[in-house]
A and B are shown apart, each in its own frame.
Chain A
Amino acid sequence: MRIRAEQIKKEFYRKSRGSNIFDAVSTCDFAMDEGTLTVIKGRSGGGKSTLINMLSGILVPTEGKVLYGDIDIYKMNDRELSCYRNSHIGYVPQGKSAIASLTVMENIMLPGILYGFRNEIEAVRLMDKFGISHLRDAMPEELSGGELRRMAIARALIKKPDVLFADEPTGDLDDENTTTVFEILREVADNGTAVLVVTHESDASKYADKVFRMDAGELSEE
Chain B
Amino acid sequence: MKTPGFIAYKNIIKRPARSIALMILAAVLSLSLLGGTLIVQALNNGFGSLEDRLGADIMVVPYEATTKQELENIVLQGNTGYFYMNGEYLDELTLLEGVGRISPQYYLASVKAGCCSMPVQIIGFDPETDFAITPWIKKSGSGEVGYLDAVVGNDLNAFVGDEMSFFGVKVNVVAKMDKTGTSYDTQVFTTRQTIQTLIEASLNKQLNEYASINSGNVISCILIDVDDTHNVDEVVNDINIHYKKLRAIRTTNMISGISDSLAAVSDIARIIIAAVWIVALGIMILTFFMMTGERKKEFAVLRVLGASRGKLAKTVLTEGVVLSFAGGIFGVILGLIIIIPFSGYIETKMALPFLLPGTHVIIFAAALAVLLSALAGALTAGIAAARIGMIDTGMILRKGE
Q: State the Cβ distance, A162 to closest chain B Cβ, in Å.
A: 14
Are A82's CB and B301's CB within 8 A? no
User: Residues 29-70 of chain A: 1 if any B CB is under 8 Å from the residue's CB, otherwise 0?
Assistant: 000000000000000000001100110101100000000000
A183 within 8 A of B: no
Are B394's CB and A53's CB within 8 A? yes
Complex CA–CA separation, A168 to B400 (angstroms): 10
Are A59's CB and B393's CB within 8 A? yes
Are B301's CB and A97's CB within 8 A? yes
Are B306's CB and A82's CB within 8 A? yes
Are A82's CB and B311's CB within 8 A? yes
User: Residues 101-118 of chain A: 1 if any B CB is under 8 Å from the residue's CB, otherwise 0?
Assistant: 110001000110111100
B15 within 8 A of A: yes
Segment at the interface with A among B3-11, B85-93, B351-359: B3-11
Chain B's closest residue to A83 (CB) is B306
Chain B's closest residue to A165 (CB) is B304
B397 to chain A: which residues have CB within 8 Å? 49, 53, 58, 93-94, 167
B38 within 8 A of A: no
B390 within 8 A of A: no
Are A78's CB and B309's CB within 8 A? yes
Q: How many residues of B contact A (CB 8 A)?
A: 31
Residue of A54, A82, A97, A99 near B308 (CB, 8 A) is A82
**Chain A-chain B contacts (Cβ-Cβ < 8 Å), number:** 92
Are B3's CB and A101's CB within 8 A? no
Question: Which residues of A come within 8 Å of B, CB atoms?
Answer: 49-50, 53-54, 56, 58-59, 78-79, 82-83, 85-87, 91, 93-97, 99-102, 106, 110-111, 113-116, 139, 155, 167-168
Could you write out 22 A-B pairs with CB less than 8 Å apart?
A49-B400, A50-B398, A53-B398, A58-B394, A79-B310, A82-B309, A82-B311, A83-B308, A85-B305, A93-B397, A99-B10, A99-B298, A100-B14, A101-B10, A101-B13, A102-B10, A106-B10, A111-B305, A113-B3, A114-B302, A115-B3, A116-B3
Question: Which residues of B come within 8 Å of A, CB atoms?
Answer: 2-3, 6-7, 10-11, 13-15, 297-298, 300-311, 392-395, 397-398, 400-401
Supplied contacts A99-B302, A114-B305, 18 more A-B pairs, CB within 8 Å: A56-B304, A58-B304, A58-B393, A82-B306, A85-B305, A91-B304, A91-B305, A93-B301, A93-B304, A96-B297, A97-B297, A99-B301, A106-B10, A110-B305, A114-B3, A114-B302, A115-B3, A116-B3
